[in-house]
Amino acid sequence: MASLASRVGQILPEGNLKNSLRLIGFKVLFTTVGTKQVLLGTNHDKVPAKISRLVLTHESLGTRENEGYLQHYQLKTGDVVVNAGSYHGYFAIYAAHKVGPSGRVICFEPEPNNRRLLVQNISLNSLPNITVIPAGLWSADTRLPLISMGSGSRLQPDTSWDKQTISVCTLDTALAKLRVSTINLLTMDIEGAEIEALKGARQTLVNNRDINIAIASYHRVNGRPTAPYVEKLLRQSGLYAETSYPRHLTTYGYYRHS
C-alpha cells in the first residue's frame, strides 16, 4: 500500500488534487481504535498518560524531540509554554503535567488530522491547562496553503493553490488575543516555517527577558539549512543563540543576565 501510494505521488504534479489525496491518506493512516497507556517525556523523566491508539501507524512518542527541547531548561510549576507544531500532543501533555494547574501550555497545530488527535489526547488526559490554537505561526496574519503529510506537514507560501489553505498568525498577535504576557519556554518544530514565525514574534522575545527557546533547526528552506537563519534572528533580538543536539538538531536561545 505504501509503495503504491508513493508511486502515485511521484506521478501526480503538486497541486490541489495531490494535496487532497494526502489529506485523505493521512486521515486513513491516523485511524484510531480505543486508547493505550503510555509514558511521555524524556529518557530520565516521564509521566503516565493515555493516548488514542493508532491502528495503521506505529510511531515514537517524541522522546528524542522532548530531550532536545529540554537540554537547557527544566520545566517548573507555573511555567507558560508555547509549543508550535504540537502534532499529536506528546510534548504538550508532558509539559502540562510538569507546569501543573497554575501553569499553561499553548499549542499551535494547523493540520486537521494532527489537530484532531491532539485534541483527543488532551481530552483523554483531562488537561484544562492546554489551549489549542488551530493555526500556524508566521510573520503575518493571513492564510497559506498547507501540504498535509503527518508530522512533516508544511506551509507552501509560494504556490497559487486555492484550496486547503489554513490560517496563520504571528505569535505576537496570538498571545495578545490570549492576554498572555509571560512565556518561559518557546518550542517550535514547524518544518521550515520557524524563520517566518520568529519574525512574527519580535515583541514576545523583547518583552520576555527570561524566555528560553528551543527550535528544531534540521530543516531546509530554498535548499539551505535553517539553523544559521534561526540563530541570526535570535541574536538580532538580543538573545544568545547556539545550535546543538545532533540527534534532533535544535537551536537554543536565551538572554544572558549579568
- The 10s digit of each residue's pLDDT in 44-59 is 999 999 999 998 888 7
C-alpha cell at 207: 518583552
Pairing type for strands 142-147 and 154-155 reads: antiparallel
Asked if the structure places residue 38 within a domain, the reply is no
- The 10s digit of each residue's pLDDT in 18-46 is 767 777 777 788 888 999 999 999 999 99
Asked if the structure places residue 69 within a domain, the reply is yes
Asked if the structure places residue 11 within a domain, the reply is no
Q: CA triplet 13, 14, 15: central angle to 5 degrees?
A: 110
C-alpha cell at 239: 538573545
Say what the pLDDT of residue 10 is: 54
> Tell me, what CATH number does 211's domain have?
3.40.50.150
Asked if the structure places residue 50 within a domain, the reply is no
Domain total for the chain? Answer: 1
Asked if the structure places residue 14 within a domain, the reply is no
Say what the pLDDT of residue 21 is: 75
Say what the pLDDT of residue 4 is: 38
Q: With 70 as the cut, is the pLDDT of residue 2 above it?
A: no
- The 10s digit of each residue's pLDDT in 114-151 is 999 999 999 999 999 999 999 999 999 999 988 877 77
Mean pLDDT of 208-237: 95
Mean pLDDT of 53-76: 92
Higher pLDDT, 53 or 152: 53
Supply the range of the domain harboring residue 92: 63-254
Bridge partners, 54 (sequence order): 32
**Is there a contact between 169 and 135 (Cβ–Cβ < 8 Å)?**
yes
Banded model confidence at residue 11, pLDDT cuts 50, 70, 90: low
Asked if the structure places residue 100 within a domain, the reply is yes
Asked if the structure places residue 45 within a domain, the reply is no
How many angstroms separate the CA atoms of 255 and 30, rounded? 40
Say what the pLDDT of residue 14 is: 66
C-alpha cell at 69: 527541547
How many angstroms separate the CA atoms of 238 and 256, rounded? 9
**Is there a contact between 119 and 232 (Cβ–Cβ < 8 Å)?**
no
Mean pLDDT of 159-164: 66
Say what the pLDDT of residue 15 is: 66
Asked if the structure places residue 144 within a domain, the reply is yes
SS3 annotation, 175-244: HHHHCCCCCCEEEECCCCCHHHHHHCCHHHHHHCCCCEEEEECCCEECCEECHHHHHHHHHHCCCEEEEE
Mean pLDDT of 168-181: 97
